[in-house]
Amino acid sequence: MSKLIAPHGSDELMPLYVYDTSENERLQHEARDLPSILVSSAAAANAVMLGAGYFTPLKGYMNKADAMSAATDMKIASGLFWPVPVVNLVKDAGGISAGQRVALKDPNVEGNPVLAIMDVEAVEELSDAELATIVDKVYGTADPEHPGVAALLSQGKTVLSGPIKVLNFSYFQTEFPDTFRTAVEIRNEIAERGWSKVVAFQTRNPMHRAHEELCHMAMERLGADGLVIHMLLGKLKKGDIPAPVRDAAIRKMVEIYFPPNSAMVTGYGFDMLYAGPREALLHAVFRQNMGATHLILGRDHAGVGDYYGPFDAQEIFDTIPKDALKIDTFRADNTAYSKKLNKVVMMREAPGHTKEDFVALSGTKVREMLGQGIAPPPEFSRPEVADILIGYYQALDSGKLSS
């Protein structure tokens, strides 16, 4: 069996999900009599990532000191490299105090079932200045219009910290049974396939030709055994394409345009931060935990709007300690179809080209075309993928769906 890359800061994965059925049932029964708190969507997503082993070796939510240290120095008190705070912020602790055991209720599932049980080690308040520091360091902007900043500022300033035991994977396992996978499951499948050099591709969108070819390029240049397409399944900003549509489009592309057994289509349960460079580092941490040796970093990875420079998320990897991560990166320029060369290329590798030599379409233009039932040119989007997206946008524009 091939030897896989070690998890982050640990010899083995440390998922916080309670796999033992009788123990899980016992804790669910215990939770009925515990004080409970309805957590934010972001805290619920953190619990899912902790439960799935993606946030190995963390044992739960960070306290204030670790959260501040992660924000300012990208490491926690133990010295472990960690690029963003993993916190449970609430507006009101409701009388909960250190030493208590509490049930964390899921805001994203009807009836708010218990998602996890937490042993509260500390209840601390962030000052306005401390919250502002976290916002500035993690997002690089204090603009309340930034979707990640807006989400963070809506959560509250009380930090509940301590270890957790996760009892379910929220809505991800039920809504996306074919796609949601824990880091444990992905590691196991990589091992079963006999892969050792594994490329991860992050996406929150359907994959166009340029994305597809970027994956092929990375696999070929790195001599990789396989590719894990790892899509975000959690909360996005308004206007982003919903996960089931993305999933269908990506699966169709892999089925037709990738060799058999060369690519896995998977997803993870997390809310997008849109934190650009810092989120790219977090992506690397949890891709290492799931067994990937390389992470593809495209232009404006994990960005939104024009808050970050096109290659900030690549360059931040040059600023961290050499031993911070074991995973490597594959850094890509803009990729587009060259009419001169009749193939998708990285723009920096295509000298003698003008803008007119590339097939380039804006997201707005593509959406307009799809909404009108017009497939983008095949150089931009595979026709089979375009058909799925046309169906979605036409239903959206006819009022049968809400965005």
Residues annotated as catalytic (active site), given as ranges = 204-205
The alpha carbons of the chain give a radius of gyration, in whole angstroms, of 21
- 40: closest CA among 96, 89, 98, 95? 89
**C-alpha to C-alpha distance for 49 and 20, rounded to whole angstroms:** 18
Record the tokens describing residue 90, joined without a space. 């609430």
327: three-class secondary structure by DSSP = coil
Q: Is 88 left (phi over 0), alpha (psi -120 to 50) or beta?
A: beta
- Pairing type for strands 263-268 and 226-232 reads parallel
Cis check for the bond before 57: say yes or no (omega within 30 of 0): yes
The one-letter amino acid code at 109 reads V
**Residues 70 and 130: beta-carbon distance below 8 Å:** no
**Residues 155 and 90: beta-carbon distance below 8 Å:** yes
Contacts of residue 34, defined as CB under 8 A and 6 or more positions apart, other chains included, come to 101, 102, 103, 117
DSSP string, 141-201: ---TTSHHHHHHHTS-SEEEEEEEEE---TTHHHH-TTTB--HHHHHHHHHHHT--SEEEE
